[in-house]
A and B are shown apart, each in its own frame.
Chain A
């Protein structure tokens, strides 16, 4: 087991290195850097000025070396300025160059400085990840139980009326991407002119103009049912349908197994057959899907956070990408890789506990 985990972690590190290098290479393409130079220094810079600015600020040299510096395995760059002061990657403004460390990459905890937010990347990330964490938590709390319930209910009697109704619902929600369902939800519940809000307002049942607010910005400080319902539902609906479909398929298959017949003919009641005999076997497949859903959530939050103006990880990513904020983008990709790989590791280990036939050596 330990060996397996170690191997997995090894693979994780390799994947992370490969992926971040790709992101690093793409964000450090010459046109990007030129844009960066112009936005940082002056928009009206001439081409040779751009080149010298890049050279002076450590964007020259081979990509691999710069990647190594960013990672913290190569010594940070240093330049002697025109005024004779030593500037460098690892030398913060106004500190003595002599005390500065040689290496300062992410391995040393130096994630860089965000050009958009004018803050160290670590601070930006911590704030946005915290916000997204709350969002994700609530999505999971809503999504997992309800989708499993839907899946099990529709899968335990295949072809019944319950099954058809629930399956229709699941297919509909999973066929609707977040940017569609988000807009529909807003139009339906959070618009002063469309949907049910005008009707409710007219009847005097709600005090404001809309049932739900159209943004979730206030949830940054204080999460309430009202300001969080729409973003959570937008993400969760898609996942509910998807996981419910998976659970249903797995459940219908399990219900036709011979050991279910054995249990039934032992005199076990239908309820107990489902709870004790079918459920654990049926959850093996959806478990992996739920774990795969975590990285997918990262994807969903990009849209939803932008849509509802919720300043979490997705919103930050969009801002960083839109404003050519290389350090923030890189840090985001590291986080994404980490989340994907860790959830996969958890899913593999959890699989072993659900399925006694698989034992890891």
Chain B
């Protein structure tokens, strides 16, 4: 199968590739004039927002565009052979053996009815004609290679018996079964928690080095790309706009979109008051509504009428660059070192009286073990002894990975669940055991929520205006329909949506716009406390900045208390005043943002911070990878909840961590840590994130 091939030549060479999808109405160009080369052993990053065509490129390399997709021009050469000209049969020999792919959703990409071992063993059985026993043996060995514990058990398990991180390792193992020359990773960690993500990224990097595999790494996360890749290609609306070495593109970007992208993500040093993020104005153009000339033109601050929209813009090499190209006519004219026009600097909002106070809140669920009733009753301790207070005008971030109990807490607070014990004081009212149906209109309108997924939380068959008016009706606002209508228009102004949107249906709105409607609805009754459950995590980075900004703006105006639930530490660092870190239902650390993001850390916070990829070449991080998975809340470990994965455990004398839940300790300035570590050890901790001197 393998023909002589010169390893100094590129493994993958894509030239002027164009891909279109054909619908009944029209041809929709998804990728236009895309070129890139991947050398042997190189990791190439494809970066861009959703809809920019990066996954389409990956599927085109696999020649799996589906019924409607077609390659309309250009070539994809793999080891010198043009994939676009290959027959189904030839492709089949390359798929899985020479090019392998790792997908975004590990659960969905494993066959639920086949054992892990069978799915893995299939690859060498097809491509190398290996015998069944040998293939299973190899599968077992590769499972051990991707650092999964107890490979014998795992090869005989079904996918649903593994955790998300383990499943992704299996998908990686499957891709590595026949030592491919090129590995395509399509957002491999997006569905995973940060600490799990860190482990997977480490694994991918190590395996890449070990086997000399080239990689095409698709991601929307610039920090991850910096971590993994050697080279980078930024895509915008179906075109590559800039490509080059990762360091060059990060430090000396030569395309306005790349620059705008970096300015809209919260890097260390950004501050919501002094140095706010700069959102990219406007919206991503729909594929059939692309402007003439430069696609980014209408949103670009360097746009020149008559030049940028006059002709198609070619890729040009950047002078003094190393294989660095950009699709910008003005790349040599723009002074790239000017700092962003200083955004409006705002005063730090004043923090007022306590509006929400939790005292020793507990929420336990009891679950039956069998699907048909009976069996043992088990208790899931979703929240353990939650005590904190939130003040008027304050942003309190609640941070933690999936299963840490942050959503349960939100449910109890909102009244969707009632607390098992403890107290919640909202203003002067005890609400811990009042379900939402029993709460007064006043309480409900004062305490509102902004949801994670704006796509599912709007009623698809009601106009935007009607949905907001409905909220106003429920909150008993106003005396007449006219009054409510007027208030609805005001709310649209508040969230910076045009008033004409009142008559639109949710499907006509983009993700960011929908989230604005969600925010308008939450603030309809003049909410004083707003729980924002990952309000921007479903949105693209450039939109995230705008939505976060909006939330901050409204907060300043209304003196709202914001409980910001998130797993994204960068954004938390950017906008919150105080941070609460949760793990397995426990609050392990709480303090002001500066206190939490600087030593002394709780060991879990330390690991969490080190796991977050940061898109800044100046940042140096110490790498702490947590072993294993988060323990199940049904069966938590004895003693400290974090002890099974803690790297500091040896520093505590007498195995105390395994015996006792640590008490909450007050450090300087109201900083709380739930840990047994002695003061001396805590004081000796090094900061995880260091910014190298410029």
Residues of A within 8 A of B (CB): 3-4, 7, 159, 257-259, 261-269, 272, 276-277, 280-281, 354-361
Q: How far is the CB of A116 from chain B (nearest CB, A)?
A: 43
* 8 A Cβ contacts from B351-390 to A: 369-372, 374-375
Flag if B158 contacts A259 (CB, 8 Å).
Answer: no
Selected contact of A266 from candidates B96, B112, B113, B158, CB within 8 Å:
B96
B397 contacts across to A, CB distance below 8 A = none
Selected contact of B374 from candidates A259, A277, A359, A361, CB within 8 Å:
A361
- Which of B62, B96, B113, B122 has its CB near the most chain A CB atoms (within 10 A)? B113
16 A-B residue contacts at CB 8 Å? A259-B108, A259-B109, A262-B103, A262-B109, A265-B62, A265-B64, A266-B123, A266-B174, A267-B95, A268-B126, A269-B126, A272-B126, A277-B114, A280-B113, A281-B113, A355-B113
Q: How far is the CA of A269 from the CA of B91 in the complex (A)?
A: 10
Contact mask for chain B residues 171-183; partner A; CB cutoff 8 A; 1 contact, 0 none = 1001000000000
B371 contacts across to A, CB distance below 8 A = 358-361
Flag if A361 contacts B160 (CB, 8 Å).
Answer: no
Q: How far is the CB of A5 from chain B (nearest CB, A)?
A: 11
Q: How far is the CA of A269 from the CA of B89 in the complex (A)?
A: 8
Q: Nearest residue in A to B375 (C-beta to C-beta)?
A: A361
B171 contacts across to A, CB distance below 8 A = 262
Q: Nearest residue in B to A8 (C-beta to C-beta)?
A: B372
Flag if B126 contacts A259 (CB, 8 Å).
Answer: no
B372 contacts across to A, CB distance below 8 A = 3-4, 7, 360-361
Contact mask for chain B residues 529-549; partner A; CB cutoff 8 A; 1 contact, 0 none = 000000000000000000000
Q: How far is the CB of B597 from chain A (nearest CB, A)?
A: 37
A358 contacts across to B, CB distance below 8 A = 371
A3 contacts across to B, CB distance below 8 A = 372, 374
B577 interface residue (CB < 8 Å to A): no
Q: How far is the CB of A249 from chain B (nearest CB, A)?
A: 18
The binding surface of chain A is classed by DSSP as helix
B105 interface residue (CB < 8 Å to A): yes
Q: How far is the CB of A255 from chain B (nearest CB, A)?
A: 12
Q: Nearest residue in B to A357 (C-beta to C-beta)?
A: B160
A4 contacts across to B, CB distance below 8 A = 372
Q: How far is the CA of A22 from the CA of B64 in the complex (A)?
A: 59
A265 contacts across to B, CB distance below 8 A = 62, 64, 95-96, 100-101
B111 interface residue (CB < 8 Å to A): yes
- Which of A263, A276, A354 has its CB near the most chain B CB atoms (within 10 A)? A263
Q: Nearest residue in B to A266 (C-beta to C-beta)?
A: B96
A159 contacts across to B, CB distance below 8 A = 67
Q: How far is the CA of A361 from the CA of B376 in the complex (A)?
A: 11
* 8 A Cβ contacts from B163-218 to A: 171, 174
The binding surface of chain B is classed by DSSP as loop
A258 contacts across to B, CB distance below 8 A = 103, 105, 108-109
B126 contacts across to A, CB distance below 8 A = 266-269, 272
Q: How far is the CB of A105 from chain B (nearest CB, A)?
A: 32
B110 interface residue (CB < 8 Å to A): yes
Q: How far is the CA of A186 from the CA of B504 in the complex (A)?
A: 60
A354 contacts across to B, CB distance below 8 A = 113
Flag if A266 contacts B95 (CB, 8 Å).
Answer: yes
Q: How far is the CB of B617 from chain A (nearest CB, A)?
A: 34
- Which of B95, B123, B158, B171 has its CB near the most chain A CB atoms (within 10 A)? B95
* 8 A Cβ contacts from B401-424 to A: none
Q: How far is the CA of A264 from the CA of B127 in the complex (A)?
A: 13
Q: Nearest residue in A to B177 (C-beta to C-beta)?
A: A266
* 8 A Cβ contacts from B598-612 to A: none
B9 interface residue (CB < 8 Å to A): no
Q: How far is the CA of A262 from the CA of B110 in the complex (A)?
A: 7
Flag if B96 contacts A267 (CB, 8 Å).
Answer: yes
B439 interface residue (CB < 8 Å to A): no
Q: How far is the CA of A165 from the CA of B369 in the complex (A)?
A: 48
Q: How far is the CA of A149 from the CA of B266 in the complex (A)?
A: 56
Q: How far is the CA of A361 from the CA of B97 in the complex (A)?
A: 41
B109 contacts across to A, CB distance below 8 A = 258-259, 261-262
A259 contacts across to B, CB distance below 8 A = 108-112
Contact mask for chain B residues 102-125; partner A; CB cutoff 8 A; 1 contact, 0 none = 010100111111100000001100
Q: How far is the CB of B293 from chain A (nearest CB, A)?
A: 36
A276 contacts across to B, CB distance below 8 A = 114, 122
Q: How far is the CB of B67 from chain A (nearest CB, A)?
A: 8
B32 interface residue (CB < 8 Å to A): no
Top 8 A-B residue pairs of the complex, sorted by shortest distance between their CB atoms: A361-B370, A267-B96, A266-B96, A258-B108, A267-B95, A259-B111, A262-B109, A258-B109
- Which of B97, B122, B158, B174 has its CB near the most chain A CB atoms (within 10 A)? B122
Q: How far is the CA of A173 from the CA of B146 in the complex (A)?
A: 53
Give me 12 other A-B pairs in contact (C-beta within 8 A), A264-B95, A267-B94, A280-B114 excluded. A3-B372, A4-B372, A258-B109, A259-B112, A263-B111, A265-B64, A272-B126, A277-B114, A355-B113, A357-B112, A357-B158, A361-B371
Flag if B92 contacts A267 (CB, 8 Å).
Answer: yes
B252 interface residue (CB < 8 Å to A): no
Q: Nearest residue in A to B88 (C-beta to C-beta)?
A: A270
Q: How far is the CB of B291 from chain A (nearest CB, A)?
A: 34
Q: How far is the CA of A258 from the CA of B66 in the complex (A)?
A: 12
Q: Nearest residue in B to A158 (C-beta to C-beta)?
A: B67
B659 interface residue (CB < 8 Å to A): no
B127 contacts across to A, CB distance below 8 A = 267
B499 interface residue (CB < 8 Å to A): no
Q: How far is the CB of A20 from chain B (nearest CB, A)?
A: 26
A360 contacts across to B, CB distance below 8 A = 370-372
Q: How far is the CB of B167 from chain A (nearest CB, A)?
A: 11
A267 contacts across to B, CB distance below 8 A = 92-97, 123, 126-127
Flag if B108 contacts A257 (CB, 8 Å).
Answer: yes
Flag if A264 contacts B64 (CB, 8 Å).
Answer: yes
B103 contacts across to A, CB distance below 8 A = 258, 261-262
